Structure 1
Amino acid sequence: MSPEAPLPSSSDEVDLSQEIAEVEQNLALLKERYAQVQQDTQRQGELQQRLNSVQKELRRNRSQEVQAELQRLKQELETIEFNLESRLFSWDAFKEPFWQAVRFAGLGIAVGWILKSCAG
């Protein structure tokens, strides 16, 4: 009599399909975030070049229009840099590792207290 692996139940199939759907959704979000980062990086390079040319123009011509454009470019660059940083570091990316660290650190402390009380 050979032991056979049990056939997957319908709940296992549902769990698997839910997991696959979640992975597909996460992949789509990752692709979207990656495309946005690429666009922002390209836009940042363009703005930086324009900023350099406006700064050179400002040295030659100190008009209000040039100064206003310089301010607008600096503000847009800051916004893009903020967007790039906030997209790279989000709470969702750190949520699971954070709670695992909290869980295992707490478990380590509890095991340490138990060992200390047994030894001492």
Structure 2
Amino acid sequence: MTKPEASPEPSFEQELADVDHSLVLLKERYAQVLRDQQQQAQWQQELKNLQQNKHQTPEMKAELKRLQKQLEVLEINLESQLFSWSSVKRPFWQAVRFGGLGVVIGWLLRAYVG
């Protein structure tokens, strides 16, 4: 009696579920980016208003520093959300694989010629 061979490729249903999951994650990330952009615009406006005030109290200066720090963190979050390991994982490993293959072929050619 032979064993049924396991299919090395995922089924259509599995691929569809993966695509659906990726779409949900993309929608969540997009919503987060929109919220962060709105928050960024609000904080930039507050920062601008505080900077325009000629008579700044120590509390206002502390608030300015806090807002600047929060804006920096928010900008980093917005940038990092556009770049994730999952988006470059496949191209990265293809570059490693084919780049490594190119190096090996180069060594073999050099050994053959030299």
TM-score (norm: length of structure 1): 0.77
Trace 1:3-22 onto structure 2 (pairs within 5 A): 15-22=11-18
Determine the structure 2 residue equivalent to 1:102: 96
Determine the structure 2 residue equivalent to 1:38: 34
Shift of 1:15: 1.4
Structure 2 unaligned residues grouped into runs of 5+: 1-6
Distance 1:39 1:54 in 2: 23
Deviations 1:58-78 (A, max 9, x none): x2x221221122122112111
Shift of 1:93: 1.7
1:92 and 2:73 correspond:
no
Question: In angstroms, what is the RMSD of aligned CA positions?
Answer: 2.2
1:74 pairs, out of 68, 74, 93, with 68
Distance 1:69 1:109 in 2: 55
Higher helix share: 1
**Larger of the two Rg values belongs to structure:** 1
Shift of 1:117: 4.1
Q: Alignment length, in residue pairs? A: 109
Deviations 1:34-87 (A, max 9, x none): 111111112111111110111111x2x221221122122112111211111111
Give secondary structure in 1 for the equivalent of 2:11. helix
Distance 2:59 2:82 in 1: 35
Determine the structure 2 residue equivalent to 1:114: 108
Determine the structure 1 residue equivalent to 2:3: none
Shift of 1:119: 4.6
Give secondary structure in 2 for the equivalent of 1:62. coil
TM-score (norm: length of structure 2): 0.81
